[in-house]
Amino acid sequence: MKRPASLAWRLTVPLALAVLLAMGAVALFMDQRVDGELEARFRDSLLTQARALTTVVEVEEGGLVAYSGGTQPSLLGGDAPISYELRCEGLAPTRSEPAPPAPPGWPEQATTTPRFDELDAADGTQTVMFRFNAPARENRGVRPDAMSQAVRACRLLVSRPRQDIDQLLLTMDWILALGPVVASLAVLLVVPWLVRRRLAPVRSLAERMRGIGPQAPASRLPEAGVMELEPLVVRFNEVLVRMDEVLARERQFASGLAHETRTRLAELRSLVDVEMRFPSERSPREVMAEVGAIGAELEATVTALLELTRLEAGFEPARREPLDVGAWLARTLALHEATIDRRRLALDIEGFEPGDTMITDPALLDMLMGNLIANAVSHAPEGSRVLLSRQGAAMDVANDAPELSQADIGQLGHRFWRKRTGEAGHAGLGVSLAAAAAHALGRNLSFELDEAHRLHARVR
């Protein structure tokens, strides 16, 4: 048997992947921003050092003079191991010791706009070059305010090793790369435990379901208190309601069937016992006729149950053929003529015109309308009126029902249900058979109690 997947892991794995992807995207974005910011700061620092160098260099009496020889602070602290090369028009180049690595022909490439280059020499070097005008003093001994000054075009190249900044960038890359991995591992380790703790309402719900079943028909699940579980609880309780209704109907059916069978058998046994112990003056023919009537009622009950079972199982497919409505109605009413006369009922017929035809299954229609008419003429008060009406394919059977209530309407069609118990010759299966026959014909049977307390059995 295949082991079911764990809900905790089914939640953890997508969550870990989502965290890894999200943090990876954030790490890449942060890496680009940090690298760009550090590169910009490093270049700004190098350019600042280069511009500071131009402020302490003057051209005096044909040579270059530096009035300050101190080192400049680096971006990462400490001394900045920078090197430079200065070239001014008409003068010999001036270089630091050691001389900086320089791209070929760099003086021609220098402009007033600083230009940055990365060279591979000395394990990586960052250079900046630009052109500027250096002041030139011709007479050193003259006062500054009387001194004539000129400018000379110069080009400066300043370089600085990149080991420190490259090491810092590499460290940041490792930090930003390992962060999502460590976070994903933490999610994989922690989230299953957290998910299992948070799934406690599901386990509690499963434990509560364990005690619900046919042995406890009125049991219901309480509110789960979790938004995602509430629809499940509501639907399960709806299933329990339907299950209770089905069980109640089945118990009622079993009780009704046992009652009908026991009643008929008890009548037969009592009749036989009485005749054997205290023979009556009745002839054997009369006794056997009474036995036959009781047997016929029992047979009718069993036959009705068999027909109901076949209809509900779909073993009786409907056959479509034309039917003379007038002849069918006359034949059907003839079966109930004795009951109508005995109970002095008035029969109103509407919409059944001579010569009308209907495409239907005659046997199923007899079962449907015959049971509805039999139910109406058997339960209508004596001396009342029964209405049979037809409008197209729809038919309606109505009779006075003063004893029925709206709550009883929902019970109509249940097997062996009777408003009054102990009614002779009435097993409570007629409406159930009519409903099953209507379903087999593809029709809908409904019941309605109007304001005048008349019961309408409508076939649509």
Each residue of 186-198: pLDDT tens digit?
877 887 788 778 7
Which of 45-54, 214-223, 427-436: highest mean pLDDT?
45-54
* pLDDT top residue among 382 and 94: 382
Structure tokens at 164: 């420190």
Task: Specify the CATH class of 230-311 in words.
Answer: mainly alpha
Sign of CA dihedral 408, 410, 413, 417: negative
pLDDT number for residue 427: 52
What is the pLDDT confidence band of residue 52, given thresholds at 50, 70 and 90?
confident
316-459 maps to which CATH number? 3.30.565.10
CA distance 399 to 402: 10
Q: What is the pTM of this model?
A: 0.45
Q: What residue ranges do the domains of the chain occupy?
A: 8-170, 230-311, 316-459
Closest CA to 421 of 276, 252, 294: 252
pLDDT in tens, 216-244: 777 888 887 778 788 888 888 888 888 88
* pLDDT top residue among 117 and 79: 117
At residue 256's C-alpha, the angle toward residues 454 and 250, to 5°, is 95
Structure tokens at 289: 């006729």
CA–CA distances in Å: residue 387 to residues 326, 331, 347, 364: 16, 17, 6, 21
Structure tokens at 153: 């075009």
* Residue 57, phi then psi, degrees to nearest 5: -115, 130
- Chain centroid offset of residue 392 CA: 45
What is the pLDDT confidence band of residue 397, given thresholds at 50, 70 and 90?
very high
Contact call for residues 364 and 405 (beta carbons, < 8 A): no
What is the pLDDT confidence band of residue 424, given thresholds at 50, 70 and 90?
very low
What is the phi-psi region of residue 225: left when phi exceeds 0, alpha when psi lies from -120 to 50, beta otherwise? left
